[in-house]
Chain A
Amino acid sequence: MTDAVVEVRDLWHWYLRGTPLESVALKGASFTLGAGEVVGIMGHTGSGKSTLVQHFNGLLRPHRGSVRVFGNELGDRRVDPRPLRRRIGLVFQFPEQQLFDPTVADDIAFGPRKLGCDHAEVRRRVQGAMAAVGLPFETFKDRYTFGLSGGEMRKVALAGVLALEPEVLVLDEPTAGLDPRARRDLLAVLRGLHDERGTALVFVSHNMDEVAELVSRVDVLADGKTVLSGPVREVFRQEGRLRELGLGVPAATELAAALRERGVALGGDVLTIDDAVEAMWTSSSSPAA
Chain B
Amino acid sequence: MDEFEFSRSVTVGQYIPGASFIHRMDARAKILAFMIIIAAVITTPSYIGNAIAFAAVLILVRLSGLPIGYLISGIRPILPILVVYTIFNFLFLGNYDPTGSAVLFRTPVSLGPWQFAFTVTDNSMRQTVQGVFRIFDLILLGSLLTLTTPITALSKAIEGLLAPFRRVKVPGHEIAMIIAIAYRFMPTVAEELERLMKAQASRGADFGRPGRLQFIQRTRQLVPVTVPLFVSAFRRAEDLIVAMESRCYVGGAGRSAVALDRFTSLEWGALAVSLAFTIALSRTPFPL
- Say yes or no: is B228 at the interface (Cβ < 8 Å to chain A): yes
Query: CB distance B8 to A16 under 8 Å?
Result: yes
Query: CB distance B66 to A110 under 8 Å?
Result: no
Contacts A110-B205, A114-B204, A115-B204 given; indicate if A100 touches B199 (C-beta within 8 A): no
- Choose among B66, B195, B204 the residue that contacts A164 (Cβ–Cβ < 8 A): B204
Please give the number of chain A residues whose Cβ is less than 8 angstroms from any Cβ of chain B in the complex: 33
Dominant SS at the B interface? Answer: helix
Query: CB distance B2 to A114 under 8 Å?
Result: no
- Say yes or no: is A146 at the interface (Cβ < 8 Å to chain B): yes
Contacts A97-B228, A98-B196, A110-B224 given; indicate if A89 touches B70 (C-beta within 8 A): no
Query: CB distance B3 to A59 under 8 Å?
Result: yes
Query: CB distance A59 to B198 under 8 Å?
Result: yes
In the bound complex, CA of A146 to CA of B228 (Å): 10
A 17-28 to B, binary, CB cutoff 8 A, 1 in contact else 0: 011110000000
Q: Which residue of A lies closest to B65 (CB)?
A: A20
Contacts A16-B5, A21-B14, A160-B203 given; indicate if A100 touches B70 (C-beta within 8 A): no
Query: CB distance B204 to A111 under 8 Å?
Result: yes
- Return A259 CB to nearest CB of chain B, in Å: 44
In the bound complex, CA of A54 to CA of B199 (Å): 10
In the bound complex, CA of A57 to CA of B199 (Å): 11
Query: CB distance B16 to A20 under 8 Å?
Result: yes
Counting from the closest, the 3 A-B pairs by CB-CB distance are A114-B204, A111-B204, A100-B227
Given contact pairs A20-B66, A59-B4, A97-B228, a sample of 10 additional A-B residue pairs in the complex whose CB atoms are under 8 Å apart = A15-B5, A19-B70, A59-B198, A82-B206, A86-B204, A92-B195, A92-B198, A97-B196, A98-B196, A111-B203
A-B contact pairs, 29 of them (CB 8 A): A19-B70, A19-B73, A20-B67, A21-B14, A21-B16, A59-B3, A59-B202, A60-B4, A82-B201, A82-B208, A85-B201, A85-B202, A86-B204, A89-B203, A91-B202, A92-B195, A92-B198, A92-B199, A95-B199, A97-B232, A98-B199, A100-B228, A110-B200, A110-B204, A110-B205, A110-B224, A111-B204, A114-B206, A146-B231
